[in-house]
Amino acid sequence: METTEKIVEAYCRYIKHFFTISNVKIKNNEIDILAVDTSKKTKTTKYHIEVSVSISAGFSNLTANEFTEESHKDRNKKALQRRTIGFFIEKKFNKKEHIDKLNEFGFRKGEYKKVIVSWGWTEDAKKIADKNKIELWDFRDIISEIGEFFRDDKTYFKDDTLRTLQLYIRAEKHQRKKSSS
């Protein structure tokens, strides 16, 4: 599991209080995170979450560039193809193997939310996501929300990812206090 996926899963578990399952295997592929929010008294909300975060200038935003299977197979174009909204629609959300696996976990069509976590996106990608009922979560907002949670919280977390973020945020707070005195 990639670090960014671990951070998103920790966010879902400890900040949002969702139940999660990560790295759901499907042949040569996987579903990054399945999450269930049972906190609402009226209806349980389920999420199929795919995480794709890059801070590299040319790859950070999710784009509306055309996705093609041919380009996806081309070694030189593969990385750019994985940053398109079409990649997620075709390879993650609408692929038969993924839908079958989701059904095994009780995720029925139209009864769960599709989410892509990214380091931003273009306006055109957002329009396509909205049209396809896909939520976009900005990884920077997730990190900020985790940071806000830890500003005053002193809970000891055994989750390595969350503990590392907690320690970093506490150290940053200490450094700011030190430099302002």
Domain-embedded: residue 173:
no
pLDDT in the model for residue 21: 95
pLDDT of res. 6 = 93
Is this prediction's pTM over 0.75?
yes
- 83 belongs to a structural domain: yes
Q: Do residues 37 and 44 lie in contact, with contact meaning Cβ atoms separated by under 8 Å? A: yes
Structural domain count of the chain:
1
Q: Are 120 and 62 in contact (CB under 8 A)?
A: yes
Q: What does the alpha-carbon distance between residue 81 and residue 54 come to, in Å, rounded to a whole number? A: 13
Taking the chain (181 residues) in runs of 10, the rounded mean pLDDT of each run is 89 92 91 90 84 78 79 68 84 92 93 94 95 95 88 77 83 83 71
CB 89 within 8 A of CB 134: yes
Q: Which two tokens stand for residue 72?
A: 């996806």
- CATH number, residue 71: 3.40.1350.10
- Separation CA 30–CA 94 (nearest Å): 13
User: Is 180 contained in some domain?
Assistant: no
Residue 115 maps to a domain: yes
Residue 74 lies in a domain: yes
Is 59 among the domain residues?
yes
* Structure confidence at residue 62 (pLDDT): 86
Is 164 inside a domain boundary? no
The answer for residues whose C-beta is within 8 angstroms of residue 44's C-beta and 6 or more apart is 36, 37, 38
Q: Is residue 172 part of a domain?
A: no
Residue 55: what pLDDT? 75
Distance CA 173, CA 167 (A): 10
Domain enclosing residue 30, as ranges: 3-152
What are the strands of the beta sheet with 29-37, ordered from one edge?
Answer: 19-26, 29-37, 45-51, 113-118, 134-138
